[in-house]
Structure 1
């Protein structure tokens, strides 16, 4: 009987990604959170994205709901935004990826779409429940643009190591 190592690696990596998002924001807060920019780190989405594309993870929707719950409770204290958005992003990614043969450029573009949807829906939901009053123009210029650049840089840097990890242990 073979023990599937991804059964253990995936939850540990997901848990680390949840806390790395906040840690990196805290460590680099001098340039991530300024009066003119607010960069949102979304390593959790990167981990889930790579798992959808290259991993054979059982119950990935459940894991994304759990990650969303932990993310909501740890960072916002309000259950609901990420507990809905992470599973939605997993579902959207699964739906899009089924139509294409994965390549670096194609997955980069799909990840760009995922990050844009996640950040925009997070903004819209926060606007809906009155947690923000930032205008759409300010959101796009001060949050969405810098966050896309930051998260895409992490995608480029971590693509091959994460791809190898998921392919090796799935």
Structure 2
């Protein structure tokens, strides 16, 4: 019986993505976090998104719950925000993808929708629990816009390497 290599590659990549989120934010904090902008790196979600699109990953929902728990513990301090949002985003992505044939542009647009929903729901949850007091206008201009630009650029740079990796080892 042959064990698929993705069984080992996906968890390692997920853990690496969790640490890269914080590392990239720290290294580039000079321009990612300023008085006028706050860019949120979503490397973990990109890894999960590409796994949903191209990988044959067993038990991706439990992995998304694990990633959300780790993300919440390391970066937000509130257990539950990304613990709920990552599996929800997998569900939304799968629902949207059933109507489209995957291609670079189609997946870019789906990723744009996903990052928008993920960031907006994260803002909403943080607003409800009192972790933020930023107005919706400031959120859209200072966080959502720059976050979308950064994460779409990240998608463009990493699309082909991640696609190749998931297709090769799935």
Q: Shorter-normalised TM-score: what interval? A: over 0.9
- Superposed, 1:115-130 pairs within 5 Å as 115-130=115-130
Show CA shifts across 1:60-85 (max 9, x none): 00000000000001112221100000
Deviation at 1:49, TM superposition (A): 0.5
SS of 1:19's partner is helix
Alignment gaps of 5+ in structure 1: none
C-alpha separation in 1, matches of 2:76 and 2:162 = 28
Aligned length: 170
Between 129-138 and 75-84, report the one with greater CA deviation: 75-84
Say which SS state the counterpart of residue 20 (structure 2) adopts: helix
Using the TM superposition, give the Cα deviation of residue 99 of structure 1 relative to its aligned residue in structure 2, in angstroms: 1.3
1:42-66 CA deviation, whole Å, 9 max, x = no partner?
0111001000000000000000000
SS at match of 1:35: coil
Distance 2:116 2:156 in 1: 16
Matches within 5 A, 1:4-43: 4-43=4-43
Q: Residue 152 of structure 2 aligns with which residue?
A: 152
Runs of 4+ that moved beyond 4 A: none
Question: How far apart, CA to CA, are the structure 2 residues paired with 1:29 and 1:94?
Answer: 33
